[in-house]
Copies of this chain bind each other. A is one copy, B any other.
Amino acid sequence: MANYKIVLQYDGTRYKGWQILKDTELTIQGKLSAVLHRMAGHPVEVIGSGRTDAGVHALGQTANFHLEESRPVEEILSCLNRYLPEDIAVISAEEVDERFHSRYHAVEKTYLYRIHTGAIPNVFERRYLYDYSVPLDVERMREAASFLCGTHDFKSFCANKKMKKSTVRTIFRIEFEERPDELRIFYTGSGFLQGMVRILTGTLIEVGDGRRNPSELPAILEAGNREAAGYTAPACGLALLSVSYDK
């Protein structure tokens, strides 16, 4: 058995998300498994660093899978890129220790949320942007974000209301990048709950446009209730940027 780690990019627009669902549903994991099954001649389970929701993109999703027989990584890379649809690309592949697990061993993830703030639509990147033309006060958003950094119970920011496992996560940093016509928010943390980055973004937007005060954030965290937080920002603006592992 050989274990391979791959880094991939996808335009999530057409997909029902990362995780395999019924055969009739389009998923990233499903597409990868199908190509690898055909290549290897045996079923291949593709383990992702985490699930991305329907419509969410990735610039650096990481996954691993085992093959019964070892193959050159160049062959795996070219086979995947030849047979995957044009909205999924594998940017690197390497053989790794057989114990490597892309989900269990991930130590840090960064997500990027892109908000298009300009009045003129961006026709070329519209699939990767959330159009929000109400002016946003980034200083207020920064202040609100400061309450979110650190280790907290993020139950209020979890889309899965029946979540039974721990909802405690650590956010290492939230960074804002103001560009012409665009606000980018980078979230780096130990891991994120289902829908968490989109709910964090919706809540920060509500602070930025004046509907909420930055000082409300501690009480929202304290509530442990999805209703306390803001709306869920749309999937199209979100991308999984990178996943880090211990060296």
Contact = CB atoms under 8 A, between A and B. Distances in A.
A52 to B, nearest CB: 14
A9 B87 contact: no
Nearest to A125: B124
A238 to B, nearest CB: 14
Interface string A77-117: 01001000011111100000000000000000000000000
A130 interface: no
Interface residues of A, number: 21
A119 to B, nearest CB: 7
B11 A119 contact: no
B81 A123 contact: no
Contacts of A173: none
Task: Identify the 6 closest CB pairs spanning chains A and B, nearest first.
Answer: A89-B121, A89-B123, A11-B123, A9-B123, A87-B123, A91-B120
Interface of A: 9-11, 57, 78, 81, 86-91, 119-126, 128
